Structure 1
Amino acid sequence: MNIDSTTDAFHHVQTAHCENGVTTALLQYHGLDFMTEPLAFGMGSGLFYIQIPFLTINNGPAISFRTMPGAIFKRTCKSLGVEVTRKKFSNPVAAEAFLDQKVKEGVPVGCQVGVFHLTYFPKEYRFHFNAHNLIVYGSEDNRYMISDPVMEDVTSLSREELTRVRFAQGPLAPKGHIYFPESVKKISEDTIRKGIVKGINRNVRDMLRIPGNFAGVDGIRHTAGHIRKWRDKLGLKKASLYLGQIVRMQEEIGTGGGGFRFLYGAFLEEAAAYMQDDRLLQVSEDFTKAGDMWRASAIKMAGVYKGRLTEQKDFEEIADMLVDIRLVEKEAFQKLSRFNLGK
């Protein structure tokens, strides 16, 4: 069965980040035409920062600029009262059988996959990262029809190719993770507003009040402290590779540091219209500023990675940039906290 993405059945949606895109496209498919990528990201409290202790990815620090994979879809749907089905499998045969049943029923589904063996990705973007998301919306000639939100158009994968990426090994192994909305009712603007408030308040909590020093705004300072020590502790070559890893996590996986901040700013603009609260527009500008600062830090880190910058002062300057970013984001979330939205 093939569901053409140009028909009313399913429309491909290109977005900056995969899980936002899957969430947006699946909810739009179920009639929630108001859903946008910024709204999905904000209601899902997608903005985050963490340097995960004792974990490395691609032989570098494990840093994330967003919340845990799957949380955006789960939280956004829950805020809107949308019932969802989520399954993981230990057996690839069972995972394929379940997927085939949903395809037969004409139900588009989200799948978590690994990037390294994703054949339609350019080779330079294939690395060991297992939290990518795409939509399977049909099948044709023994190939699955794929809507990957970060791609301009739809594509396809063979059965073997899809099984391989659905059961990629390593950190965040997807284990055949499949998910989709099950029951969608009519959504009122009041429900949307409540979802916006819940998403903002949860993001305030996660960035300002999460315990420990390696997550939220304090996590940014934590990473800055590490950067100051890397050159002397690890040597220039390894320290440079570590900075290159941050750039990759920041700029190549989804929309990373700067892009996610721009996206959150866009969410606050939409939220201001729903809430009729212009204060949110002012904070939106703060996140745009943070996004610009993250992009500037990535350029500086790339200079070290490429060997153009080699001195300890360069590492110090990068660390100082992160400290400044932390202050901007902390003050922005403190403003949101003081607004007492929804009260």
Structure 2
Amino acid sequence: MKLNYEHFQAAHCENGVTTSLLQNVGVHQITEPLAFGIGAGLFFVYIPLIKINNGPAIAFRTLPGLVFNRTCKALDIPVVRKKFSSKQKAQSYLDQCLADGHPVGCQVGVYYLPYFPKEYRFHFNAHNLIVYGKEGDNYLISDPVMETVTTMTSYELERVRFAKGALAPKGQLYYPKEGRPVTDEQIRRAIKKGIAKNVNNMLHIPGPIAGVDGIKFIAKRIKNWRDKLGLKTAGLYLAQLVRMQEEIGTGGGGFRYIYGAFLQQAHAYLPNDDLLEISNTFTQAGDLWRSAAVQASGIYKGRIGSQEDFNQMSEYLFEIAEIEKQAFTSLSKITWKP
């Protein structure tokens, strides 16, 4: 049983799954940047009290599942999303979806993914892939971050669908319930809504840990990590920052590059030249995130490690926070022409 499905490679897993599943039901206008922007995927949060892989919880994107849900909702595409307590019921439901002709997105843990390079396998449970068929005991897998399709046995797929720990997927799967024609006017409205949501998330969430304020919050703390935590633990915390940015993120602050591409593509639907100028600002932020990752890696690997090196790391993040604040403030002031 192999569905009529075309593999789509993307910079990030949920963006790719969202784009691929929507294109599969006929929404051919959607691209990875448009899905990311309409889904208000760009974010930052630092939660020092929650530990993942012995480091603080840090995220460069919104919670898993929200890009898909928000994009489909904005385009009036109904969604099916299920979690399971029973592994048997999870597999039976998946098999029925495939029999009914639905490729499905699955949230999984990456640690036991057999086709992932070993250096990328650690306990992180918010990866997304598509199951698009089954042949014997092998499920046909389209993972958007991989170049080609692959297969997993029923045991291998069950293992990653029911991975334990933070953000445990609990067999979660999702797909568009049905395809509907999407007009350019719907895309325009969805773009505006996505931008407004992302402005709010980055500028107006109360408290110090999220959005632009979250970047400033961790920047302040980094200056004190060397003395407070010791060089080894401080290096591990910085490694966590790089891991979430580079390995589970999109590399070098890549979410900022994708958001910049979203604004460029949005310009085709909403021809306001401010979008192009602000797009360049997000590219600048992405470049600085890349520089920060290089600095953090140098500390973690022991090539550098003085207090001045930690100060420099902190300054990178303060500068990024100001750039992203400027960009989202500018977006909030755009007046859309009728």
Tell me the SS of whatever aligns to 1:64.
strand
1:327, distance to aligned residue in structure 2 (A): 0.3
| Residue-by-residue CA offset, 1:69-88 (whole Å, 9 max, x unaligned) | 00000000000000010000
Structure 2 Cα separation of the partners of residues 244 and 256 of structure 1 = 14
Tell me the SS of whatever aligns to 1:61.
strand
Tell me the SS of whatever aligns to 1:339.
coil
TM-score by length of 2: 0.98
Which of 86, 91, 94 matches 1:96? 91
Give the unaligned 5+ runs of structure 2: none
Structure 1 Cα separation of the partners of residues 41 and 122 of structure 2 = 23
| Residue-by-residue CA offset, 1:41-75 (whole Å, 9 max, x unaligned) | 00000000000241011101110000000000000
Kindly provide the amino acid, as one letter, of the partner of residue 246 in structure 1. Answer: L
Structure 2 Cα separation of the partners of residues 126 and 197 of structure 1 = 37
The corresponding residue for 1:56 is 51
The corresponding residue for 2:256 is 261
Structure 1 Cα separation of the partners of residues 204 and 96 of structure 2 = 43
Structure 1 Cα separation of the partners of residues 168 and 52 of structure 2 = 12
1:238, distance to aligned residue in structure 2 (A): 0.8
Structure 1, 285-294 or 51-60: larger mean CA deviation: 51-60
1:183, distance to aligned residue in structure 2 (A): 2.2
The corresponding residue for 2:135 is 140
Is 1:198 the counterpart of 2:156? The answer is no
The corresponding residue for 2:15 is 20
The corresponding residue for 1:32 is 27
Q: Are 1:194 and 1:342, in contact at CA under 8 Å, matched by a contact in 2?
A: no
Q: Are 1:259 and 1:291, in contact at CA under 8 Å, matched by a contact in 2?
A: yes
Kindly provide the amino acid, as one letter, of the partner of residue 186 in structure 2. Answer: T
Structure 2 Cα separation of the partners of residues 291 and 115 of structure 1 = 25
The corresponding residue for 1:187 is 182
Q: Are 1:249 and 1:256, in contact at CA under 8 Å, matched by a contact in 2?
A: no
Tell me the SS of whatever aligns to 1:328.
helix
| Residue-by-residue CA offset, 1:155-211 (whole Å, 9 max, x unaligned) | 010000000000000000000010000022111111000000000000000000011
Q: Are 2:25 and 2:180, in contact at CA under 8 Å, matched by a contact in 1?
A: no
1:257, distance to aligned residue in structure 2 (A): 5.8
Kindly provide the amino acid, as one letter, of the partner of residue 211 in structure 2. Answer: G
Which of 299, 307, 311 matches 1:316? 311
Tell me the SS of whatever aligns to 2:333.
helix
Structure 1 Cα separation of the partners of residues 98 and 180 of structure 2 = 22
1:340, distance to aligned residue in structure 2 (A): 3.6
Structure 1 Cα separation of the partners of residues 251 and 94 of structure 2 = 30
1:256, distance to aligned residue in structure 2 (A): 5.3
Tell me the SS of whatever aligns to 2:174.
strand
Aligned residues: 338
The corresponding residue for 1:6 is none
Kindly provide the amino acid, as one letter, of the partner of residue 39 in structure 2. Answer: G
Q: Are 2:26 and 2:180, in contact at CA under 8 Å, matched by a contact in 1?
A: no
The corresponding residue for 1:10 is 5
Instruction: Report the identity percentage.
Output: 58
Tell me the SS of whatever aligns to 2:85.
coil
Structure 1 Cα separation of the partners of residues 181 and 206 of structure 2 = 38
Q: 1:72 to 1:257 in 2, by over 3 A?
A: farther
1:141, distance to aligned residue in structure 2 (A): 2.3
Tell me the SS of whatever aligns to 2:170.
coil
Structure 2 Cα separation of the partners of residues 134 and 340 of structure 1 = 38
Which of 244, 251, 258 matches 1:249? 244
Which of 150, 157, 175 matches 1:155? 150
Structure 2 Cα separation of the partners of residues 100 and 192 of structure 1 = 33
1:342, distance to aligned residue in structure 2 (A): 6.8
Kindly provide the amino acid, as one letter, of the partner of residue 137 in structure 1. Answer: Y
Q: Are 2:40 and 2:62, in contact at CA under 8 Å, matched by a contact in 1?
A: yes
Structure 2 Cα separation of the partners of residues 133 and 307 of structure 1 = 33
TM-score by length of 1: 0.97
The corresponding residue for 2:167 is 172
The corresponding residue for 2:219 is 224
Kindly provide the amino acid, as one letter, of the partner of residue 2 in structure 1. Answer: K
The corresponding residue for 1:71 is 66
Q: Are 2:129 and 2:143, in contact at CA under 8 Å, matched by a contact in 1?
A: yes
Q: Are 2:223 and 2:310, in contact at CA under 8 Å, matched by a contact in 1?
A: yes
Is 1:325 the counterpart of 2:320? The answer is yes
Kindly provide the amino acid, as one letter, of the partner of residue 29 in structure 1. Answer: N
| Residue-by-residue CA offset, 1:213-269 (whole Å, 9 max, x unaligned) | 000000000001111111101101111111111111111103156100000000000
User: Structure 1: which 4+ aligned runs deviate by more than 6 Å?
Assistant: none
Q: Are 1:114 and 1:129, in contact at CA under 8 Å, matched by a contact in 2?
A: yes
Give the unaligned 5+ runs of structure 1: 4-8
Kindly provide the amino acid, as one letter, of the partner of residue 200 in structure 1. Answer: I
Q: RMSD value over aligned CA atoms?
A: 1.0
